[in-house]
Amino acid sequence: MKVYNTHDFEDIVVGVLNGKFDFWSAPDACIVTEFITFPKYLALNVFLAGGNLKTLMVMRKTIENFAKETGCKKLVGSGRKGWSRIFTSSKDVDGICGYMYAKEL
């Protein structure tokens, strides 16, 4: 998470090991998710994803099912602007809600 400097590799490993994060893997891709509790609903946040794009899109179906089974009302995520090309052309995404911005204080 170089852009926002929120996590390093060790943080992810510890988070997966202690159950804070879920690690989803395939031979050529992986995804890391976490639950976010909002006042109105529970969401599953996809905050790290990398590897083969086709594999990631297939994995997303499994993750969506997991989210539904665990009571989530939404699957959310943030990423670099390039991801918007993938999701704006996808018929099974509600839409792009915006981008995440950061400023060092």
Domains belonging to the chain, first-starting first, are 9-88 (3.40.630.30)
Write the CA distances from 70 to 2, 36, 37, 65, integer angstroms.
30, 12, 12, 9
Mean pLDDT of 79-89: 65
| pLDDT, greater one: 82 or 88 | 82
Q: From CA 43, how far away is CA 41, in angstroms rounded?
A: 6
Instruction: Look up the pTM and report it.
Output: 0.80
Q: Which is more confident, 57 or 5?
A: 57
The pairs formed by 33-40 with CB atoms below 8 angstroms and a separation of 24 or more are 33/63, 35/70, 35/72, 36/76
Residues 30-78: tens digit of each pLDDT = 999 999 999 999 999 998 999 999 999 899 899 999 999 999 999 888 7
The amino acid that residue 2 corresponds to is K
